[in-house]
Amino acid sequence: MKIIAAKKILKANDQLAEENRAGFNAAGVYCVNVVGSPGAGKTTLLEALFTALKDRLRPAVIEGDIAGSIDAARIEKLGVPVVQINTQGACHLDANMIAAAAADFDLAAIDLLVIENIGNLVCTAGFDLGEHLRIVVLSTAEGDDKAAKYPAIFQGSQALFITKADLLPHLNFNAERITADFKRLAPQSEILQVAAIQGDGIPPAADWLAGKCAATLR
Amino acid sequence: MKIIAAKKILKANDQLAEENRAGFNAAGVYCVNVVGSPGAGKTTLLEALFTALKDRLRPAVIEGDIAGSIDAARIEKLGVPVVQINTQGACHLDANMIAAAAADFDLAAIDLLVIENIGNLVCTAGFDLGEHLRIVVLSTAEGDDKAAKYPAIFQGSQALFITKADLLPHLNFNAERITADFKRLAPQSEILQVAAIQGDGIPPAADWLAGKCAATLR
C-alpha cells in the first residue's frame, strides 16, 4: 500500500503547476488566477475587463465552482470561450484540474487565460495552478480587516483589486488600513480600485492587465 | 500503522459533536454555529444581538480565525466572555476544537454559546460542532446567487440572516431569488433580514433567538 502525505501532494501539485506554466509560455498564453470570497465581484470584474479589452486581447476563462455554471453562462454571453470545472464540494482548484480544463482550449487562439477560482479566501491559498499572476479580489463591503485576518491568500498574490468602490460612501471602509496590511504581506504587489458595474477604474485596470500580459510574453 | 480514512474522521467528528451537544444540554447552554463568507458581517451581527439581549441572556463566544484575534477583541469589549481559536491556516472549526474551547468556560454561567466559525462558505459545511442551531450569514453585497452556488452550507443551516440591508438601495439584490433558493435547500428554515449597524431588524431577531434558546432548553 502506498501512503501519500499531504506535503507530497502539494509538491506534486507544484510540479504540475510548473508544467502548466511551461505549456502556457510555449503557447504565448498569459494566465491569471483570480481568487476572493464568495460575492467579492470576481465575475463582474472579468466582464468589465473583457469588454474593455475586446479589441486588444483574446481571452478565455476556466470557471471553478462547487456546483452549477452561473458564472460560466455570464462569461459565455460575452463571446468568451469558457470551460466550467465543478468541484462537487471541493474547496479549491488544483493544477491537475487546470491541466485537464486547458486541454479543452485551442491555446493558439488565446492570449489571456483567466482562472476564476472557487469563492474561498482560505483553501485556494495553497495551490499554485501554473498562473503567471494571482489577483485577490476584495469588495469594499467585506471590510478593511481581511488581509490581517486571512494573510496567506494576500501574501501569495501579486495584485489586489478592491471592488464595489461605488459603495464606499455607505461603508466604514478604511482603504489605508487594507493597503498597509497588504503591502506588509506582499510588498511588490499592486493595488487597483474599481466599481466594475459603473466602469470606474476599469480603463486603467485593463491597460495594466494588458501591460502585464505583454511584458511577460514578449 | 493505523490509517484513518476521511470518512472515519468525519464520523469521529460527528461523535464528538454529539458529546459536545450532550454537554451543552446538561449545562443548559444553547449553542449556535454561525457560518458565512469573510466580511458577511458575522461579528457585527453578534455585537448587535448581544447588546439587544444583554438583560435577558448570558452569552459567551468561541471565535474561530485563521490568524489574529480582531473579532475576539470586539466581543470582549461588550463584556462577553470569549475564547479565541487560531486554526493557523485550517479552513474550518471541528468538534474537537470546540470541546477544548468550551472547557475554558464556566458553562453554569452561560445561557447562549455562539461559535463564530472561520469565514468560509465551503469547508465549514461538513463539520457538526455540537450546536443546536446553525445560522448562515449572507450580506446583500455578496449577491443573491450564493445559495445556488454554495448549496451545502445553506442546506445544512436552519436560518439565514441577510445582513447589510441598508445597502439594498445601491445593489442589484433580489431577495426573492435567494429566498426561493434557500427554501428549496432548507424548507423548514427561517430567514431574517437586518442592518446590524443601524439596528434595523435587530429587536425581532433578538426575540427570535431568545425564543429558540428557551424552546430548546426548557
CA-based nearest residue to A196, from A151, A168, A162: A162
Confidence of residue A217 (pLDDT cuts 50, 70, 90): confident
Confidence of residue A11 (pLDDT cuts 50, 70, 90): confident
Distance from CA of A74 to the nearest CA of B (A): 13
Inter-axis angle of helices A202-217 and A42-52, to 10 degrees? 80
Domains identified in chain B, total number: 1
A149 to chain B: closest CA residue: B67
pTM: 0.94
Q: Is residue A1 part of a domain?
A: no
pLDDT of amino acid A51? 98
Distances, alpha carbon A45 to alpha carbons A161, B170, B171, in Å: 9, 17, 15
CA-based nearest residue to B85, from B23, B33, B19: B33
Inter-axis angle of helices A6-27 and A95-102, to 10 degrees? 30
Q: Is residue B1 part of a domain?
A: no
Residue A101: give the domain boundaries.
6-217
Q: A–B: how many Cβ contacts below 8 A? A: 116
Instruction: Tell me: pLDDT of B4 over 60.
Output: no
Chain A residues in contact with B170 (beta carbon < 8 A): 166-167, 170
CA distance B173 to B177: 9
Distance from CA of A79 to the nearest CA of B (A): 22
Residue pair B149/A72 in contact (Cβ under 8 Å)? The answer is: no
Distance from CA of A214 to the nearest CA of B (A): 33
CA distance B201 to B51: 13
Chain B residues in contact with A146 (beta carbon < 8 A): 38-39
pLDDT digits (tens, 9 = 90+) for A83-122: 999 998 899 999 999 999 999 999 999 999 999 999 999 9
Residues in chain B: 218
B215 touches chain A (CB under 8 A): no
B65 touches chain A (CB under 8 A): yes
CA distance B45 to B40: 9
Whether B139 sits inside 8 A of A39 (CB atoms) is: yes
The ipTM is: 0.91
pLDDT digits (tens, 9 = 90+) for B6-55: 666 677 999 999 999 999 999 999 999 999 999 999 999 999 999 999 99
Q: Which of B3, B37, B123 sits opposite A123 (nearest CB)?
A: B123
Confidence of residue A158 (pLDDT cuts 50, 70, 90): very high
Please state, as a whole number, how many other Cβ atoms lie within 10 Å of the Cβ of residue A11: 12
Alpha-carbon torsion (A140, A114, A21, A212), positive or negative: negative
Instruction: Tell me: pLDDT of B106 over 60.
Output: yes
Chain B residues in contact with A91 (beta carbon < 8 A): 91, 120, 122-123
Q: Which of A67, A120, A166 sits opposite B120 (nearest CB)?
A: A120
Alpha-carbon torsion (B121, A176, A197, A29), positive or negative: negative
Instruction: Tell me: pLDDT of A169 over 90.
Output: yes
CA distance A42 to A49: 11
CA distance B94 to B131: 11
Q: Is residue A199 part of a domain?
A: yes
Chain B residues in contact with A150 (beta carbon < 8 A): 38, 66-67, 119
For B165-175, what is the mean pLDDT?
Answer: 97
Q: Using a pLDDT cut of 70, give the percent of chain B over it.
A: 95
For B134-156, what is the mean pLDDT?
Answer: 97
For B125-144, what is the mean pLDDT?
Answer: 97
Q: Which of B1, B141, B166 sits opposite A164 (nearest CB)?
A: B141
pLDDT of amino acid B2? 52
Cell of B189: 428554515
B126 to chain A: closest CA residue: A89
Residue B41 sits in a domain whose CATH number is 3.40.50.300
Q: Using a pLDDT cut of 90, give the percent of chain A over it.
A: 91
What is the CA angle A92-A190-A218, rounded to 5? 85
Residue pair A150/A122 in contact (Cβ under 8 Å)? The answer is: yes
